[in-house]
C-alpha cells in the first residue's frame, strides 16, 4: 500500500511538471505562431456620452443606459443607436472605442459598416470572441450622424454594454495605461522574480540533490502572474492573439492550486501528506477534466470556473486548517515567515475579491500582485533563514568532526612515536614546519591547515613496520631498509579512504620522493611530485637535522642551512627550499628545533 502511495505521489509530481511545461510551451508557440488579433493605433480613450437607444425587433426604439445591461437573450443581437456629437472634427484623428465582453461586434455610421470584431476565424476553440477594446476610425464628416452599435454573444454577458470612448490615439492610450499600468508592472515584476526563483531553486537542486520547496511557490506566483497579465484590459497591447490570452487565463486558474498544495506539503515536512495527496488528486483530475471540456466546447467556462473556485477555496481552507494545527502543536516555528506571507496574501485576496464584487476595474489584479510579492519576499526570507541554520549546523558538525579527526590523528601519532622514542614529537614538528612553509609560500589558510594534517600523518605507515626493524641499533640490511621504505605505500593505503582531508594520502606516499627523480616509492621527478609532498619533504629533512638522534645531537643551525642549500634542486624543490632558508634566517635564536634532548649529552 505504501509503495502504491509513493507511486501516486511521484505520478502527481511528474504529471504536474509535464502540465506546466506544456502550458508554457503552448504559451510560447502561441506567441510565435498565432495570428495577430490586434488593431493598429489602439491606446487609451475618453468617455463617449450619447443619448443611446436600443433598437427592438419591430424597429421601435427605447432609451438604453450605457454603460449597463439590456434585456437580450443569449445568442441574440443587441443593437444600440445614437447621434455623434458635432465636435468630432475638433480631434486631429478621431477614434471611437467600444469594449467587447466576450461579444462579436459591428459598428455602422449612417448605415455604412465601419468595423466588425470577431475572432471565430483565429481562435482554436471557444464559442465567443475574447473581450477586447475595439477601435473604429472616424471622419470629420461623421459629426452629427447616426451611429449603430451591435453585439452578440452566447455567454452570460449577453446584453452587457461597457462604456464607449472617443478621442485621439495618444489620449486613449494614456487613459487605459493610467487605469491598468500598476497591475501590469507589478505582475511583470513578479514574473521576473518567480522565474528567477524557479531557476535558482533548480540550480540548487542540481547542485545539492535536495528538493527546494520554494520552487513550488515560484510556480504558484508564475501562474498568478500569467492570470493577471492574461486577464488585464491591457492584454491586447502585449498579446498579438487575444484568444491565447483567454486560454492562458483559464489554464492558470485551473492549475493554480497544484503548486500551492505541493509547496505547503513540503514546507510542513509532509505531516499532512495524505490530506494533500487527496486534494492534489482532486484538483488535478478536475483541472484536466475542465480543460478537456473547454477545448472541446462541451463545457462553459463560467460554470467550470465556479466549481474551480470552490475547489480552490476548499484547498485553501485545508491549508489554513493544517497551519492552525501546527501552531497548536508548536510546529509552525520552522515556517512562521511563510505563514505571515500567506496571511498577507490572503488579506490582499479578500480586498481583490471585494473590488471584483463591486465591479471595480481599477487595480484589477493589483492587490493580488502586492500580496504575492509580500508572500514571495517572506518565503525567501524563510528559505534564507533555513539555509543559515543549515550552514550553522554544518559548521558545528564540521567543528565536531574536525575535533574528532584531530584527536584520532594525535592518537595515531602517539602510536607511531611509541615505536621509536628517538622520534617523539617528530610528526608534530614536521606538521608545524610544513604549515610555516605553506604560509611563507602564500598558500591559503585552508591549504595551510591541510598540509599541517598531512605532516602529522606522513609517517602513519610505520605502524605496519616491525618494532625490531624500527628500533634496531645497528645498520639496517638492504632487506630491512627495503621494508622501512614500504611505510610510504602502507601509509597511502591507510589514508586512501580518509575523506575529511583531501589528498592526505598523497603526502604519506610521496614525501620521500626527490626532486631529481631518485627518491621512492615511484621515482617521481620535479612537478610530478604533489606540492604537499614536496613541502613535507623539506620539513621532514629539516626536523631530521634539528632533532636528537641515537647517534648525534641537534645539528648547528648554520650546518642545517648549508645542507639544505647543498641539496636544493636535487633532493628538494628549490622554491620550497628557498622558503625554508628564509625561515631559518628569520629564526635568529634557533627556536625551530627539538627543545629537550632525548638522550644524555
Domain CATH for 74: 2.60.120.260
Q: What is the pLDDT of residue 499?
A: 65
- For residues 13 and 219, what is the distance between their CA atoms, to the nearest angstrom? 13
74 grid coordinates:
443569449
Q: What is the pLDDT of residue 35?
A: 85
Would you say residue 591 lies in a domain? Answer: no
Residue 100 has pLDDT above 80, yes or no: yes
468 grid coordinates:
625490531
Residue 83 has pLDDT above 90, yes or no: yes
Cα-Cα end-to-end distance for the chain: 80
Residues 312 and 368 in one domain: yes
pLDDT top residue among 179 and 291:
291
Residues 233 and 358 in one domain: yes
Contact 252, 226 (CB under 8 A): yes
Give the pairing type, strands 68-69 and 77-83: unpaired
386 grid coordinates:
533555513
Residues 243 and 130 in one domain: no
- For residues 339 and 322, what is the distance between their CA atoms, to the nearest angstrom? 11
CA distance to 240, 241, 447, per residue, from 39 (Å): 9, 11, 67
Nearest to 363 by CA among 234, 248, 250: 234
Contacts (Cβ under 8 Å, ≥6 apart) of 513: 519, 520, 522, 523, 524, 525, 529, 533, 534, 537
Residues 427 and 544 in one domain: yes
Would you say residue 399 lies in a domain? Answer: no
Would you say residue 411 lies in a domain? Answer: no
Q: What is the pLDDT of residue 406?
A: 66
Would you say residue 597 lies in a domain? Answer: no
Contact 559, 546 (CB under 8 A): no
Contact 173, 43 (CB under 8 A): yes
H and E: helices and strands count for the chain: 18, 12
- For residues 488 and 481, what is the distance between their CA atoms, to the nearest angstrom? 13
Q: What is the pLDDT of residue 399?
A: 64
Contact 211, 256 (CB under 8 A): no
Residues 134 and 259 in one domain: no
Would you say residue 413 lies in a domain? Answer: no
Residue 374 has pLDDT above 60, yes or no: yes
Residues 440 and 461 in one domain: yes
Q: What is the pLDDT of residue 601?
A: 34
381 grid coordinates:
526570507
Name the pLDDT band for 441 (thresholds 50, 70, 90). Answer: very high
List pLDDT tens digits, range 226-277: 988 888 888 888 898 999 998 998 899 899 999 999 999 999 989 999 999 9
Contact 54, 79 (CB under 8 A): yes
Where are the alpha helices (H) located in 299-365, listed in sequence order? 301-328, 336-357
Residues 147 and 195 in one domain: no
In the numeric block, the cell 537542486 is attached to 205
Would you say residue 595 lies in a domain? Answer: no
Percent of the chain with pLDDT over 90: 31
- Residue range of the domain that includes 7: 2-33+177-392
363 grid coordinates:
487595480
Name the pLDDT band for 417 (thresholds 50, 70, 90). Answer: low
Q: What is the pLDDT of residue 271?
A: 93
Residues 137 and 246 in one domain: no
- Based on the structure, what is the number of domains in the chain? 3
Backbone angles phi, psi at 360, to 5 degrees: -85, 125
Per-residue buried b or exposed e for 408-422, using 16+ beta carbons within 10 Å of the residue's own CB? ebeebbeebbebbee
Contacts (Cβ under 8 Å, ≥6 apart) of 354: none
Residues 181 and 162 in one domain: no
Q: How many CB atoms lie within 10 A of CB 169?
A: 20
Q: What is the 3-state secondary structure (H, E, C) of 469-526?
A: HHCCCCCCCHHHHHHHHCHHHHHHHHHCCCCCCCCHHHHHHHCCCCCCCCCCCCCCCH
Residue 40 has pLDDT above 50, yes or no: no
CATH number of the domain enclosing 469: 1.10.3210.10
- For residues 462 and 459, what is the distance between their CA atoms, to the nearest angstrom? 6
566 grid coordinates:
647543498
245 grid coordinates:
490570452
Residues 319 and 358 in one domain: yes
- For residues 150 and 158, what is the distance between their CA atoms, to the nearest angstrom? 11
Where are the alpha helices (H) located in 236-332, listed in sequence order? 242-255, 257-267, 273-296, 301-328
* pTM metric for this prediction: 0.64
Amino acid at each position: 500500500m505504501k509503495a502504491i502511495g509513493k507511486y501516486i505521489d511521484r505520478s502527481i509530481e511528474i504529471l504536474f511538471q509535464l502540465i506546466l511545461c506544456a502550458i508554457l510551451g503552448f504559451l510560447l508557440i502561441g506567441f510565435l505562431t498565432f495570428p495577430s488579433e490586434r488593431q493598429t493605433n489602439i491606446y487609451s480613450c475618453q468617455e463617449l456620452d450619447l443619448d443611446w437607444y436600443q433598437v427592438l425587433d419591430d424597429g421601435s426604439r427605447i432609451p438604453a443606459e450605457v454603460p449597463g445591461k439590456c434585456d437580450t437573450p443569449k445568442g441574440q443581437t443587441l443593437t444600440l443607436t445614437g447621434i455623434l456629437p458635432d465636435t468630432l472634427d475638433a480631434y486631429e484623428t478621431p477614434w471611437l472605442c467600444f469594449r467587447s465582453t466576450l461579444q462579436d461586434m459591428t459598428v455602422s455610421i449612417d448605415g455604412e459598416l465601419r468595423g466588425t470584431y470577431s475572432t471565430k476565424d483565429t481562435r482554436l476553440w471557444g464559442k465567443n470572441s475574447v473581450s477586447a477594446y475595439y477601435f473604429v476610425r472616424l471622419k470629420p464628416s461623421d459629426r452629427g450622424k447616426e451611429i449603430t452599435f451591435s453585439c452578440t454573444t452566447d455567454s452570460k454577458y449577453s446584453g452587457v454594454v461597457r462604456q464607449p470612448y472617443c478621442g485621439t490615439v495618444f489620449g486613449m492610450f494614456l487613459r487605459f495605461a493610467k487605469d491598468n499600468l500598476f497591475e501590469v508592472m507589478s505582475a511583470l515584476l513578479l514574473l521576473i522574480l518567480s522565474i528567477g526563483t524557479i531557476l535558482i531553486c533548480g540550480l540548487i537542486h542540481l547542485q545539492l540533490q535536495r528538493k527546494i520547496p520554494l520552487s513550488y511557490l515560484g510556480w504558484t506566483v508564475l501562474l498568478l502572474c500569467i492570470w493577471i497579465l492574461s486577464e488585464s484590459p491591457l492584454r491586447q497591447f502585449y498579446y498579438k492573439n487575444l484568444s491565447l490570452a483567454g486560454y492562458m487565463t483559464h489554464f492558470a486558474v485551473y492549475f493554480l492550486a497544484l503548486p500551492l498544495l505541493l509547496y505547503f506539503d513540503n514546507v510542513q515536512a509532509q505531516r499532512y501528506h495524505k490530506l494533500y495527496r487527496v486534494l492534489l488528486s482532486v484538483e488535478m483530475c478536475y483541472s484536466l477534466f475542465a480543460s478537456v471540456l473547454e477545448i472541446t466546447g462541451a463545457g462553459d467556462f463560467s460554470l467550470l470556473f465556479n466549481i474551480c473556485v470552490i475547489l480552490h477555496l476548499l484547498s485553501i481552507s485545508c491549508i489554513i486548517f493544517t497551519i492552525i494545527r501546527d501552531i497548536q502543536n508548536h510546529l509552525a516555528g520552522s515556517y512562521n515567515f511563510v505563514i505571515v506571507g500567506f496571511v498577507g496574501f490572503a488579506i490582499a485576496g479578500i480586498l481583490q475579491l471585494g473590488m471584483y464584487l463591486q465591479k471595480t476595474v481599477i487595480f484589477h489584479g493589483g492587490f493580488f500582485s502586492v500580496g504575492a510579492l509580500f508572500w514571495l519576499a517572506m518565503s525567501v526570507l524563510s528559505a534564507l533563514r533555513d539555509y543559515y541554520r543549515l550552514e550553522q549546523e554544518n559548521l558545528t558538525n564540521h567543528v565536531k568532526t574536525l575535533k574528532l579527526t584531530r584527536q584520532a590523528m594525535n592518537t595515531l601519532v602517539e602510536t607511531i612515536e611509541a615505536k621509536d622514542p628517538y622520534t617523539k614529537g617528530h610528526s608534530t614538528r614536521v606538521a608545524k614546519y610544513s604549515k610555516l612553509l605553506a604560509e611563507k609560500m602564500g598558500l591559503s589558510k585552508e591549504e595551510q591547515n591541510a598540509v599541517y594534517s598531512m605532516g602529522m600523518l606522513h609517517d602513519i605507515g610505520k605502524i605496519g613496520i616491525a618494532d625490531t626493524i624500527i628500533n634496531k641499533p645497528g645498520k639496517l640490511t638492504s632487506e630491512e631498509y627495503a621494508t622501512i621504505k614500504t611505510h610510504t605505500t602502507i601509509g597511502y593505503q591507510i589514508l586512501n579512504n580518509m575523506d575529511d582531508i583531501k589528498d592526505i594520502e598523497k603526502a604519506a606516499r610521496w614525501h620521500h620522493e626527490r626532486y631529481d627523480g631518485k627518491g621512492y616509492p615511484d621515482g617521481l621527478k620535479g612537478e610530478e611530485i604533489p606540492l604537499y609532498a614536496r613541502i613535507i619533504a623539506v620539513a621532514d629533512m629539516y626536523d631530521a637535522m634539528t632533532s636528537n638522534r641515537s647517534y648525534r645531537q641537534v645539528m648547528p643551525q648554520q650546518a642545517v642551512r648549508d645542507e639544505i642549500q647543498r641539496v636544493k634542486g636535487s633532493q628538494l624543490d628549490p622554491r620550497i627550499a628557498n622558503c625554508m632558508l628564509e625561515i631559518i634566517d628569520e629564526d635568529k635564536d634557533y627556536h625551530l628545533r627539538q627543545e629537550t634532548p632525548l638522550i644524555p649529552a
